[in-house]
Structure 1
Amino acid sequence: MTSPELTFADLQIHPSVLQAVGDVGYETPSAIQAATIPAMLAGSDVVGLAQTGTGKTAAFAIPILSKIDTASRATQALVLAPTRELALQVAEAFGRYGAHLPQINVLPIYGGSSYGPQLAGLKRGAQIVVGTPGRVIDHLEKGRLDLSHLDYLVLDEADEMLQMGFAEDVERILADTPEYKQVALFSATMPPAIRKITTKYLHDPVEVTVKAKTATAENISQRYIQVSGPRKMDALTRVLEVEPFEAMIVFVRTKQATEEVAERLKARGFAAAAINGDIPQAQRERTIAALKNGDIDILIATDVAARGLDVERISHVLNYDIPQDTESYVHRIGRTGRAGRSGNALLFVTPRERHLLRSIEKATRSTLIEAELPSVEDVNAQRVAKFRDSISEALDAPGIDLFRRLIEDYERDNDVTMADIAAALAVQSRDGEEFLMVEPPPEKRRERPERSAKPDRKPREGLATYRISVGKRHKVGPGHIVGAIANEGGLHRSEFGHITIRPDFSLVELPAKLPKKTLKALENTRISGVKINLQPDRGPAKSRRKTP
């Protein structure tokens, strides 16, 4: 266990590395760092059983950098990672923690990209190489990578590497390294194949097992929407139009689905792109760069394709297809809420998949809040608001004077009102597309009537329905409501029940007997600048009569 008083300064790491760790803002090591760093500094082999998000990269990077010989150009450390994204992420981490070391060179090598920069880096000499197994073997076989002076070898996410078919490559690389080296292996699970590698290639390793207190981060709001399979695209479109987001990853189950969903979204006017294992590396790099710089806002991905993807502007993760195992769910939603920011995770659940939802809640020890599918009225209110905003923006656009004269001439010559001309131009800009959404025909399946009855649902035992004075028109989502009330009122996310967001107000299920201290704290709470005015709800019928 990590002592609260333990700091990185207590771990006897190199002063220059300690300075860089301080620059990053780290003070207290995580559990895996506190256990692994001293063991590696002492020269022991290490087997670390830890999930993503426990800080394992720093756990092996810091001790390796503390012991590396910067005076030598020989490759002294090799880190194997399953994907290009993870290799780059690990290499960047080494760069950060080694920022104050003189003449340290870290080189990422991976498949699907130009050999030129990698060959130049190997020729210059890199004390630390981070690579994917296939490209490492390629360089070894061509004599461009010399591991004869290797002192440290790390297998990162070893179970993922084996699952992706790299078992023979990993063994081949291990066989080409010196017998006397320090090995660290990190894996979320310990299947027989991983145990075999540890027995064969590691010498009396120190085993470190770290289980996160909660498998999912506290700063990620988790919600689910019940929707039938045929209606998923309609549901996704509604969410994208109503939910405020910066960038989003939409996870699907198959490579084919990434292309299909991306194409359908682009046809609806969204800036979306697909990423999967069949996409050429150059295109993959362009797509991720476009996501980072804002040229695209929505990435449709499979689990493996998004492994190691770290883009700070991803505010939302949406599970279009529910994952079959809880580990995938944790990895998926871990793509948001990065660098201490808050994140949002949404999950589409069909009626037959509710058992998978329960499994996720049980394994992650968290309760997902059920969210209402945005209504047609919600979508159309957003479309009207965006249309009005676009007019306001265009009024300040350059060249408006020219078009004003042209329209005034048209008005005079044709005796047509300015309003009719503006409406005609708006219709022209739509290029035949319908502006307002219409309600789709009801499904014949039985679950649809049950969903329509949701607004009149009774709160679960111990909860009561409260009304707050913010809604869709204030551009709020469930994440804003939960975050504000939880932070100001001292409530935990698990104490929230169902949330229904109307155009002008919202209904929130909270503990029936809120303490006076909590009610007092919430008196002046604001969301989007509007005081929430928390009050017990007086009944759904009365609430609905006030809804426009």
Structure 2
Amino acid sequence: MDFASLPLSPPLLQVLQELEFQTVTPIQAQSIPVLLQGRDLIGQAQTGSGKTAAFALPILQKIQLARRRVQALVLCPTRELCAQVAGEIRRLGRRLPGLQVLVLAGGQPIRPQVNALEKGAHIAVGTPGRVMDLLDREVLETGQLATVVLDEADRMLDMGFREDMERILGATPPSRQTVLFSATFPPTIEEMSRAFQKNPTRVTVVEAEAPPDIQQLRYPCEPEQKTSLLLRILRQYQPGSAIVFCNQKATVVELTQALGEAGVSAAGLQGDLEQSERDRVMARFRNQSIRVLVATDVAGRGIDVEALDAVINYDMPFQPEPYVHRIGRTGRAGRTGLAISLVTPRDERKVEDIVQATGVKLEPGSVEALPPMDAAGRMPLESPWETLLISAGRKDKMRPGDILGALTGEAGGLNASDVGKIEIQDRQAYVAVSKRVVRVALKALQAGRIKGRKHWIEWVK
């Protein structure tokens, strides 16, 4: 199926053509016709399957631009995902004159969001906590809501948002269309669907086909050998950036500490992190100030990092689908990826299930051929970069060139080669700086000005 065969408005079809969206993904093919008819839907799909466009296009099709009232609400678990979803909706709706899409997320001052709501908007994308706060303040009106989407519903439940989600749904019109997307279907999701949806259509799209161009290796070990084996693997392959997946939050904390003590540039990502701390970890990982990210599947949702060298399964996932989703983060953009699994005797059945589901064999790696750790049990894998945070972003008219100029001009005096990736967010910016000159760069930015103004500068560690 292609998009031209769907009953979408000419402006939307024009944008899809401009963006070279041609073939509809499986989740879009099954969801869009149902949602255009106004029916409720419960969909199972992983991040990266095209589900944002699957719910965004029907919402944009039905928006009445003349009424600047919130007509659609999308709930997401994190501020990061809210920004991604809102950005995609704006991109798809760029031919709709006057379209207003708001992000209502925590970790940001609430006053600008209150002001924006008072001016009027068509679509809101928010985290449950902040949306609940705005409802309590009676500044988010729900009377005109036609559609509510719960994106990554299972992750919101894992993060303890169940009560907020139920209160928000309870504050919306009974006539609303309710759309629920989740990567897994625990009993709590089924209960929520029964309580808040009307005869929903069930759509399941599970990719069980391993991506091509990924070398998949398995290394046998006993459970107590995992950490030392992981260190030897990191020493052998020297990845510039790698994600190590664990099944439990406690393992993430313990392993991150063990890697740090062994000289590895690593940070952990698990569900208990505050959103601001998660943002900092992800910014450092994207600009390669951190070389190894240790994460659970839930915390790892929505991670999209370019040029990821390797994915390592410290713990084998319980089902083939998470395995495919994990390793699909490497080997993108025409590069060969590397996926390594640490396999204990108890994991053999899981490996058999993966091979049967994907049709791809995990090649045996030779433990004997791996380099030993040094006498002190260390395996240095440090990053040449550090990260500085600047308290101004896109909405303050901050541009990458402004930061680069401040660092390499007379006040900063750095070489351009000492400055790495610059990432501009709404109200803050991150810049990677060579480790050997980070103190010089920090003092220069703290003492100087960017675009004629003083800003708060912080070394993110």
TM-score by length of 1: 0.62
**Counterpart residue type for residue 257 of structure 2:** E
Distance 1:275 1:151, change over 3 A: same
Going from structure 1 to structure 2, the CA distance change for 1:87 and 1:143 (only over 3 Å counts) comes to: same
Question: Which position in structure 2 is the counterpart of 1:133?
Answer: 128
Runs of 4+ in 1 over 4 A off after TM superposition: 189-192, 337-342, 376-380
Partner of 2:4: 9
SS in 2 for 1:305: helix
Instruction: Report how many aligned residue pairs link the two structures.
Output: 376
Structure 2 gaps of 5+ residues are 375-379, 385-461
1:172 to 167, 170, 187: 167
**Aligned counterparts of 2:100 and 2:30: Cα–Cα separation in 1:** 27
For 1:285, the equivalent position in structure 2 comes to 279
Shift of the 247–376 alpha-carbon distance from structure 1 to 2, 3 Å rule, reads closer
1:443 equivalent in structure 2: none
The answer to whether the 8 Å contact 2:206/2:321 transfers is no
Match of 1:228 in 2: 222
Q: Is the 8 A contact 2:217 2:363 kept in 1?
A: yes
- 5+ long unaligned stretches in structure 1: 1-5, 381-385, 391-548
Cα deviations by residue, 1:291-350 (Å, 9 ceiling, x for unpaired):
112222211122222222222232321111223344443443344345676533211112
Judged with a 3 Å threshold, the aligned counterparts in structure 2 of structure 1 residues 82 and 366 are, in CA distance, closer, same or farther, namely farther
Pick from 130, 134, 147: which aligns with 1:152? Answer: 147
1:77 aligns with one of 58, 72, 83: 72
For 1:388-426, what per-residue CA distance to the aligned partner results, in whole angstroms no more than 9, with x for missing partners?
xx9xxxxxxxxxxxxxxxxxxxxxxxxxxxxxxxxxxxx
Residue 294 of structure 2 corresponds to residue 300 of structure 1? yes
After superposition, the C-alpha distances for 1:113-171 in whole angstroms (9 at most, x for unaligned) are: 44355444434433222222222212211223221111111122333433444333222
> How many angstroms apart in 1 are the aligned matches of 2:23 and 2:279?
34
Q: Which residue of 1 aligns with 2:258?
A: 264
What letter is aligned with 2:224? P
Structure 1 residue 177, shift from structure 2 partner: 0.5
Contact 1:113–1:281, Cα closer than 8 Å, also in 2: no
Alpha-carbon spacing, 1:275–1:161, altered in 2? closer, same or farther (3 Å): closer
1:311 and 2:311 equivalent? no
Contact 2:11 2:96 (8 Å CA) reproduced: yes
Determine whether 1:60 maps to 2:55: yes
Measure the CA separation in 1 of the matches of 2:333 and 2:117: 32
Larger Rg: 1
Partners of 1:114 and 1:361 in 2: CA distance: 49
SS of aligned partner of 1:72: coil
- The Cα shift of 1:27 comes to 0.5
Amino acid at match of 2:202: E
Q: 1:70 to 1:222 in 2, by over 3 A?
A: farther
The one-letter code matched in structure 1 to 2:165 is: V
Partner residue in 1 for 2:97: 102
1:304 is paired with a residue of what secondary structure?
A: helix
Q: Given the superposition, is the C-alpha separation of residues 126 and 313 from structure 1 closer, same or farther in structure 2, using an over 3 Å criterion?
A: farther
Change (3 A) 1:150 1:194: same
Question: What letter matches 1:235 in structure 2?
Answer: L
Structure 2 residue matching 1:102: 3-state secondary structure = coil
For 1:83 and 1:46, locate their aligned partners in 2 and report how far apart those are by CA, in whole Å.
Answer: 22
Contact 1:222 1:369 in 2 (8 A): yes
- Residues 339 and 13 of structure 1: CA distance in aligned 2, closer, same or farther (over 3 Å): farther
Residue 344 (structure 1) aligns with: 338
Cα distance between partner residues in 1 of 2:223 and 2:143 = 55
Given candidates 345, 351, 363, the residue that maps to 1:357 is 351
* Structure 1 residues 110 and 306, CA gap change in structure 2 (3 angstroms): farther
CA spacing shift, 1:221–1:152, aligned 2, 3 Å: farther
Partner of 2:241: 247
Residue 19 of structure 2 is matched in structure 1 by 24
Name the SS for the 1:92 alignment partner: helix
Change (3 A) 1:344 1:114: farther
Q: Which letter does structure 1 place at the counterpart of 2:270?
A: N
Q: Which residue of 2 aligns with 1:276?
A: 270
Query: Equivalent of 1:197, from 192, 197, 208?
Result: 192
Q: 1:162 aligns with which of 157, 166, 171?
A: 157
Greater helix share, 1 or 2?
A: 1
Q: Where does residue 217 of structure 1 map in the other structure? A: 211
Closer, same or farther: CA 160–296 of 1 in aligned 2, 3 Å? closer
Q: Residue 258 of structure 1 contacts residue 274 of structure 1 at CA under 8 Å; is this kept in 2?
A: yes
1:339-366 Cα offsets, whole Å, 9 max, x none, are 6765332111123322232233334444
TM-score calculated relative to the size of structure 2: 0.72
The structure with higher relative contact order (CA 8 Å, sep 6+) is 2
Distance 1:41 1:356 in 2: 40
Greater mean deviation of Cα atoms: 223-232 or 155-164: 155-164
Distance in structure 1 (CA, Å) of the matches to 2:133 and 2:356: 44
Q: Assess, with a 3 A threshold, how the Cα gap between structure 1 residues 303 and 18 changes in structure 2: closer, same or farther.
A: same
